[in-house]
Structure 1
């Protein structure tokens, strides 16, 4: 079952990375919602804690990478946003 978790983890995490890259390159954060990004970040922290409690390597792997990605989007939104 952990293999299914890793496949899902890779796909969902990889799907998020193009947005981070595009935002970094263009510095355009106008379409990003800060409240959504903050809720998403807190949710991912919760999933990471849950992954540790369940001792699930796939959840820990995916959510660690996604936390970094979502943190970067929050950072970009605050840094490059005109109307936060």
Structure 2
């Protein structure tokens, strides 16, 4: 029971940790300082953890990594959109 609670709290913390970056990016329309290599590694890692959690039928692992995966994809998408808009504005 204690381990399940600890795992849930850890999953919430690591998942919610991406939300401030998304909010900041939307407000400033700037995500140039976020490493695309780091985001790509997180994307691969979260995908693998998601598959692993589904395989184990562990909802904590699967849900946390599913949400984290969606947040990482959102940051990558926003980064790409903001980069494209900067390129248009400089023309």
- With the length of structure 1 as denominator, give the TM-score of the two structures: 0.87
Aligned residues: 83
Partner in structure 2 of residue 53 of structure 1:
55
> TM-score, length-normalised on structure 2?
0.81
Match for residue 64 of structure 1 among 63, 66, 90: 66
Match among 30, 33, 38 for residue 32 of structure 2:
30
Offset from partner CA, 1:20-79 (integer Å, 9 cap, x none) = 111122111120111221121111001100111111111111111101100000101111
Q: Which whole-Å CA distance do the structure 1 matches of 2:51 and 2:31 have between them?
A: 29
Other structure's SS at 1:30 match: coil
Structure 2 runs not aligned, ≥5 long: none
Segments of 4+ in structure 1 off by > 4 A?
none
